[in-house]
Amino acid sequence: MRGIDIHQDKGNPDWQRVFAAGIRFAWLKVSEGAGGSPNPAILTWFRHNAPAAKAAGIRIGGYHFLTTAIPSSTPEEEADFFLSRLSLHPGDLLPACDFEQNPPDAAQALAFLQHVEAEIGVKPILYTFPDYLTRALAHATPAVQQALKNYPLWFADFGRNDGTDHGVTHDAHGFKVVAHQFTSKGAVDGVNPPTDLDQLIAPSLDAISFKRHAAPV
């Protein structure tokens, strides 16, 4: 099953055309950091596109860009900021943490994920890419490594990054991969190109969707 992930710089997709092109799920950017620019524009964009995508029949979720390089905000503050904007509903994709800003501080990612989990009662998803994940784990304590691996992984593994799915070819370091972002150079009718494309790895969308009192993925 194919999906996309998208942010405000891509403008407003024609979600009916996106659905007709075969896309069945989408993660949309909700926030970054714990406030300030560009969050007002991101929120306006998200509030317009999330219901539009749902109305077109696409399962949606939200993601947050974790700013590990900004000492003015803690991971817990960023998690609260994210959740205050997300409007999470049963049936939505699990929230995701976009973990890719240097330095690759796995402890910050873990703190963010644990705080979100405490608030929603189910494990959110970690998004990152192979080299970054390797570096993050190399600098983490064994305890942080083990705890982080309890969270499902949305893995950006592009291969040749030619718009084609070449499968997951890099080491996921023991994480359970539930979604595979296989290119940043895709093309989907209704979306300004290029487009990030994702392949569902989990058994179903329900397996990575929010349910009240749900068991962890």
Structural domains of the chain in order of their starting residue, each with its CATH number = 2-208 (3.20.20.80)
Nearest to 196 by CA among 139, 129, 143: 129
Q: Residue 214: its pLDDT value, please?
A: 44
Six token digits for residue 93: 């994709």
Residue 194 corresponds to which amino acid? P
Average pLDDT taken over every residue of the chain: 96
pTM across the whole model: 0.96
Q: How much is the average pLDDT of 100-104?
A: 95
Q: pLDDT of 20-39, one tens digit each?
A: 999 999 999 999 999 999 99
Q: pLDDT of 44-93, one tens digit each?
A: 999 999 999 999 999 999 999 999 887 889 999 999 999 999 999 999 99
Distance CA 44, CA 92 (A): 19
Neighbouring C-beta atoms of residue 173, cutoff 10 Å: 14
Confidence check: pLDDT of 216 > 50: no
Q: Residue 217: its pLDDT value, please?
A: 45
